[in-house]
């Protein structure tokens, strides 16, 4: 730049002295000094001055790509705050999620408006890494540790033994229940129990004492709030059998029509029935040799799952999550399987008076007392582009986005942050009975995320969940669970090895009829 300006001054020097009695040599000397001073100003003084005034050079700009429009307010606000705090410009860009990695790759290779960081699901990290679109995080603030993030978050952003992204927010499934209805059922249950234990007219209690909780002289039953709370906690189901048992002995309160509801057409909401006994990709979802979907316990769980059609006659072609959530919000369902988006919708409905009930959340129930549940989860990550020439600044803003400013994420987007810095006291939600520990809503959901199964990162398994969803649908509609899981396993192993694989058939285990597990009364 300085050389061009010197040539310009040399070219115009005679114009400066035209008609004046000034020595040309002196003029040239003065112009040379001016040019040197100007060059020093351009090279050393101007950059600092421009930065302080907010006019920054290109390497002081961090470009961010994201695909979820709900993040716009959060990212825009974070960009403004970060400029004020660090003097670094952040340029957020909302792009289409269609063929996102392909878009990212083309822009990065061509060096045309490519992002320094981008937000993407953990399931695409394997594909992105193979294309050189990731880099190992530098964690400049040293906050990506087990004090601030769960192991589930670490697993989600780890690929081939390295952390190649910052965990941002997550989605997972959990059980939600109408607390008012459950308390009413609990109270009626106590009354029924006391009535059965009460002595006949004229008889004294067996122990000869007056009970605090019992039938008074006028025939009314004396029940305390503490009694109802305790019994309500006991009625929170640990298994599907518990729900069926409750339905068998309880009358539906209010306008309730369903004791239990979930979207049978979406694997995100029915994966938990057998998910604890399936594994694809290993702990971090990056091991193509780890394929275990066809085993005795997964077959057993899927057989029991199929038998639920006897109790919950739901057409898989008509089932939808929206219908499940609307029924719950309108007071027609006691228990439902939902995802984190439901919490914000319920809170907004409570605020405007369209949801008139109290609610609680609980862990997903297992099929029966002998089987545990594991839900599905997805984790959105902030990734530093491997092609970025501005990685230091990119890492710093990425960390700011997922940690330093995270307390406002839920308020602005309704999304649950991975960082445990945003604890329940920072996220204003309804709290209620969620088991013996009486945890808050956000803590219970976080616990479910901690034991959930992540989508695999192995590129060969990119459509695994679509196939698993089809498998659940076929089983629900009456196909043989053994054959369906065997075919799924063979397909996955064939893709992983590049050659046809045939599984040895496992005998279908004997299964106790669910109806035989329920109370006879």
- Over residues 366-379, the pLDDT tens digits come to 999 999 999 999 99
Q: Give dist(CA 242, CA 306) in Å, integer.
A: 17
Token representation of residue 252: 């539906």
Q: Which two tokens mark 255?
A: 């306008």
Residues 378 and 450: beta-carbon distance below 8 Å: no
Q: What is the pLDDT of residue 420?
A: 79
Does 174-198+217-373+457-517 match 58-172+378-450 at the fold level? yes
DSSP secondary structure string, 153-176? HHHHHEETTEE-SEEEEEEEEEEE
Domain range annotation of the chain:
2-52, 58-172+378-450, 174-198+217-373+457-517
Instruction: State the Cα–Cα distance between residues 224 and 52, nearest whole angstrom.
Output: 66
DSSP letter at 44?
I
- The pLDDT value given to residue 144: 93
Question: Which of these ranges, 67-71, 206-210, 330-334, 424-428, has the smallest mean pLDDT?
Answer: 424-428
Q: What is the mean pLDDT of residues 433-449?
A: 69
Q: What is d(CA 328, CA 337) in angstroms, rounded to the nearest whole number?
A: 10
Under DSSP, is residue 289 helix (H, G, I), strand (E, B) or coil? Answer: coil
pLDDT tens per residue across span 274-312: 999 999 999 999 999 999 999 999 999 999 999 999 888
- The model carries a pTM of 0.81
CA distance 444 to 439: 6
Contacts of residue 408, Cβ cutoff 8 Å, sequence gap at least 6: 74, 77
Tell me what pLDDT residue 429 has. 46
- Nearest of 106, 200, 176, 122 to residue 154 by alpha carbon: 122
Whether residue 196 has pLDDT greater than 80? no
Helix locations, 321-463, DSSP H = 321-329, 341-351, 391-399, 409-413, 441-450
Residue with tokens 């590129």: 459
pLDDT, tens digit, 9 for 90 and up, residues 452-496: 999 999 999 988 989 999 999 999 999 999 999 999 999 999 999
Measuring CA to CA, how many Å separate 102 from each of 106, 202, 225, 368? 6, 83, 59, 44
- Is the per-residue pLDDT at 217 higher than 90? no
Query: Which of residues 313 and 366 earns the better pLDDT score?
Result: 366
Are 500 and 494 contacting, i.e. CB atoms less than 8 angstroms apart? yes
Query: What is the share, in percent, of the chain residues with pLDDT greater than 90?
Result: 67
- Residue 314 · residue 516 · CB < 8 Å: no
Q: Cα separation of 90 and 226, whole Å?
A: 54
Give the model's confidence band at 501: pLDDT under 50 very low, under 70 low, under 90 confident, else very high: very high
CB contact set of 43 (below 8 Å; sequence gap of 6+): 2
CA distances from 350 to 180, 324, 340, 344 (A): 14, 18, 16, 10
Tokens of 308: 């639920």
Over the Cα atoms of the chain, what is R_g? 32
**Residue 365 CA to chain centroid, in angstroms?**
19
Residues 331 and 255: beta-carbon distance below 8 Å: yes
> Under CATH, which number does the domain 58-172+378-450 receive?
3.40.190.10
Task: Tell me the average pLDDT across 67-87.
Answer: 94
Q: What is the mean pLDDT of residues 43-48?
A: 39
State the average pLDDT over residues 56-77.
85
Chain-wide mean pLDDT for the chain? 83
Residue 427, pLDDT above cutoff 60 = no
Round to whole Å and give the CA distance between 403 and 281.
28
What's residue 520's pLDDT?
62
pLDDT interval class at 426 (50, 70, 90): very low
CA nearest 116: which of 75, 60, 74, 68? Answer: 60
What is the rounded distance in angstroms from the CA atom of residue 320 to the CA atom of residue 461?
25
* pLDDT number for residue 59: 57
- 3-class DSSP state of 239: strand
Count the helices and strands in the chain (H runs, E runs).
Answer: 20, 14
| pLDDT of the residue at 200 | 59
For range 339-348, the mean pLDDT: 92
pLDDT band at 44 (very low <50, low <70, confident <90, very high): very low
C-alpha separations of 28 from 19, 103, 235 in Å: 16, 54, 95
Q: Which helix (H) or strand (E) holds 151?
A: helix 151-157
DSSP state of 99: T
* Residue 189 CB coordination number (10 Å): 18
Average pLDDT over residues 136-156: 94
Distance CA 186, CA 204 (A): 27
The pLDDT, as a whole number, for residue 366 is 95
Tokens at residue 25, please? 């040599």
pLDDT of residue 202: 55
Choices 3.40.50.300, 3.40.50.20, 3.40.190.10, 3.40.50.10800: CATH for 174-198+217-373+457-517: 3.40.190.10
**CA distances (Å), origin 472, targets 200, 299, 500:** 53, 11, 23
Q: Give me 130's structure tokens.
A: 């193979």
Run of H or E including 186 = helix 179-197
Contacts of 396 (CB under 8 A, 6+ apart): 86, 88, 140, 141
Q: What are 228-259's pLDDT values in tens digits?
A: 999 999 999 999 999 999 999 999 998 999 99
Of residues 512 and 507, more confidence is placed in 507
Token pair 């919490």 is at which residue? 343
Length of the chain: 521
């Amino acid at each position: 730049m300085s050389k061009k300006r010197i040539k310009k001054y040399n070219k115009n020097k005679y114009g400066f002295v035209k008609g004046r009695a000034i020595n040309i040599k002196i003029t040239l000397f003065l112009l040379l000094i001016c040019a040197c001073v100007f060059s020093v100003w351009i090279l050393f003084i101007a950059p600092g001055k421009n930065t302080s005034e907010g006019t920054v050079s290109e390497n002081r700009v961090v470009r961010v790509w994201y695909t979820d429009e709900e993040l716009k307010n959060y990212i825009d606000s974070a960009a403004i705050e970060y400029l004020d705090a660090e003097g670094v410009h952040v340029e957020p860009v909302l792009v289409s999620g269609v063929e996102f990695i392909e878009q990212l790759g083309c822009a990065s290779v061509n060096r045309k408006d490519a992002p320094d960081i981008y937000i993407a699901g953990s399931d695409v990290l394997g594909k992105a890494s193979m294309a050189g679109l990731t880099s190992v995080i530098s964690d400049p603030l040293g906050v990506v540790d087990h004090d601030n993030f769960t192991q589930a978050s670490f697993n989600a952003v780890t690929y081939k033994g390295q952390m190649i992204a910052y965990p941002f927010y997550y989605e997972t499934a959990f059980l939600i229940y109408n607390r008012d209805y459950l308390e009413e059922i609990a109270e009626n249950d106590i009354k029924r129990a006391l009535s059965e234990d009460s002595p006949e007219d004229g008889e004294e209690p067996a122990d000869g004492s007056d009970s605090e909780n019992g039938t008074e002289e006028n025939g009314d039953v004396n029940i305390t709030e503490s009694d109802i709370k305790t019994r309500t906690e006991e009625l929170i189901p640990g298994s599907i059998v518990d729900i069926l048992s409750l339905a068998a002995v309880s009358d539906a309160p209010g306008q309730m029509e369903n004791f239990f509801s979930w979207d049978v057409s979406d694997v995100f909401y029915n994966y938990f029935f057998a998910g604890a006994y399936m594994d694809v990709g290993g702990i971090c979802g990056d091991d193509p040799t780890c394929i275990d979907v066809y085993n005795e316990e997964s077959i057993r769980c899927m057989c029991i799952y199929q038998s639920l059609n006897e109790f919950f006659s739901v057409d898989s072609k008509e089932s939808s999550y929206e219908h499940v959530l609307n029924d719950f919000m309108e007071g027609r369902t006691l228990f439902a399987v939902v995802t984190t988006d439901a919490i914000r919708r319920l809170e907004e409905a409570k605020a405007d008076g369209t949801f008139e009930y109290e609610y609680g959340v609980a862990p997903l129930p297992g099929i029966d007392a002998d089987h545990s549940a594991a839900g599905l989860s997805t984790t959105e990550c902030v990734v530093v582009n491997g092609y970025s020439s501005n990685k230091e600044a990119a890492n710093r803003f990425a960390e700011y986005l997922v940690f330093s400013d995270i307390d406002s994420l839920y308020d602005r987007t309704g999304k649950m942050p991975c960082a445990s810095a945003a604890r329940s006291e920072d996220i204003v939600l309804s709290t209620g009975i969620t088991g013996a520990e009486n945890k808050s809503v956000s803590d219970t959901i976080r616990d479910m995320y901690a034991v959930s199964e992540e989508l695999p990162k192995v590129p060969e398994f990119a459509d695994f969940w679509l196939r698993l969803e089809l498998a659940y649908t076929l089983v629900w509609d009456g196909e043989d669970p053994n054959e369906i899981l065997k075919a799924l396993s063979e397909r996955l192993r064939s893709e992983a090895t590049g050659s046809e694989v045939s599984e040895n058939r496992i005998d279908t285990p004997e299964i106790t009829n669910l109806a035989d597990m329920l109370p006879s009364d």
